[in-house]
Amino acid sequence: MSKTGNNSVLTPFSSEPESYTDVLQFFQSSMEKCLNALNTKQQIRDSTEVWDELVDTILSFVPLNLAKELLQDTNPGKQLVISLIQDILVQNPDIDFTVDANYMSDNICARYADDHFVVRYKTNIVIHFKIILTFFELLSEDYGSAFFSFRWILQFISATKRSLQNDKIVDFTSVQINHITLQVALYLAKSLNLDFNQSKRVKYVSPNSVRVNRLDLFKGVLFTILEHSDGVVSKHQGIREKHITAEYFKICAEIYESIALLDGSVFNYELAHDLKATVIAPQNVFSTYMVRQYMLAAVHFPFNDPNRLVCFHKILMGVFFVGNVDMRTFDYFYNQFHQCAKSIDERHFITDYANFSLSGTFVNIIESVAKKHQNRKSLPYVLIRLSTNEVIIDSDFDCTSANRHTCSKEAGKLKRKVLGSNYDDEQLELGDKGLNDFMSFWHQLSDGL
């Protein structure tokens, strides 16, 4: 399968349409089964199969609202899990999540080099328990801590792969490890994106106390995700597989969205009365891929999943980022948005996307343009003041000069990864009908259902 960022179309496999209720029931059953098993006999608590199933449920992107209900701080289920983890860690004093991930990996692999069973057991404990505890941080909305913890897991896996690369017994290059790496990287991106969209953001610092550029973080995690994305669309898509696929595309879309803003052209824009403001023109290529990835997510979510409504809102937001998109395209997806809204049960309706300042601003812009565009043939361009999340609409803005800036070597490497090895700047001139023909892309996806 091609990487998801290139120009090929990923066609979803046909299956009977399920509802959002089916998704919630599936994950509630899976989570409760794990918690009930851990609450029984001691030998079951120590069974790796139970912990494997709990981690697998987490890595399958159990809906956060459901997980919060089942694993509230006062919920005995969460307290049980933490207590059992602590009991097992007491029996393994050489496992310490407060130390550097590379040191932890080197210590385990060196100390138990002659005992393959212990190496496998210890590394499983580290990865599984750290995933569970980090997921609790995410549920507590401690997104900065969750980001660093998910990154710690990726560093541990990477270091262990290096140490065991020639070990044929402890296979640390298996499909399972690749899957865990991908899912953890997606959770890392989710944490980073949630933090990026809240008002009080974490300042990211490297181990040697150097401030880390947020744009570099998004590009780095996107590169990791694309490196491990082979086979992300399963031929046999049940509820779990289809949900994972939808979340995969949604998270990738969120990354492209953030990069489009952070990598946009920054310049002084003249306001009224000779006042100037520093604004960003969203980067065109990543804005385009933002839209396409949200489309891919939308066709995989159930018809009445509130996440599908979020995807349509983001598609509308994204076509403003691209700018100069034909009004027929806007009208089409605006109608899709409202048709989707009619399908969603009031109990499941979420407005999280509108609670993020910039997304909330676009709610009003989208409605305003939808009602007052009778004489308009294409969408205006938008300029964004990230400091205030103010959006400036300018129909006369020349985005050509704003978006054609010289990319760094690292940015070029990422674009080739996203767009394929045949990537050429000349292929991505603004207004490229092949890249920006969103309706054709959508119909190709819909026809595959």
* Per-residue pLDDT at 14 exceeds 50: no
Give me the pLDDT at residue 246, please: 95
Determine the pLDDT at residue 111.
93
- What pTM did the predictor assign? 0.86
Do the Cβ atoms of 317 and 366 come closer than 8 Å?
Answer: yes
Beta-bridge partners for 269: 277
Between 430 and 143, the more confident residue is: 143
What's the average model confidence in pLDDT over 169-188? Answer: 85
Distances, alpha carbon 43 to alpha carbons 40, 46, 47, 55, 125, in Å = 9, 5, 6, 19, 16
| Domain ranges for the chain | 20-253, 254-447
| DSSP assignments along 191-228, one per residue | HHHHHHTSSSPPPPB-TTSPBPPHHHHHHHHHHHHHHT
Asked whether the predicted pLDDT for residue 449 surpasses 50, the reply is yes
pLDDT for the residue numbered 347 = 76
**Residue 290: C-alpha distances to residues 19, 347, 399 (Å):** 25, 28, 18
Q: Could you tell me which of 123, 102, 27 has the C-alpha nearest to residue 66?
A: 27
Tens-digit pLDDT profile for residues 213-241: 788 999 999 999 999 988 777 666 789 99
Helix (H, G, I), strand (E, B) or coil at 385: strand
Residue 96 structure tokens: 């310490």
- 400 versus 404: the higher-pLDDT residue is 400
- Check residues 422 and 225 and name the one with the higher pLDDT: 225
Q: Output the pLDDT for position 233.
A: 74
Residues pairing with 276 in the sheet = 270
- pLDDT surpassing 80 at residue 27: yes
Q: What percent of the chain has pLDDT over 90?
A: 50
Tell me the per-residue pLDDT of 100-143, one tens digit each, with 9 for 90 and over: 999 999 999 999 988 888 998 999 999 999 999 999 999 999 99
Q: What is the pLDDT of residue 402?
A: 54
User: Residue 57: what pLDDT?
Assistant: 97
Selected residue with higher pLDDT from 171 and 382: 382
pLDDT over 70, % of the chain: 78
- Residue 105: strand, helix, or coil: helix
| pLDDT at residue 390, as a whole number | 86
Cα 431–chain centre separation: 27
Rounded CA-CA distance 293/255 in Å is 10
Mean pLDDT of 384-412: 65
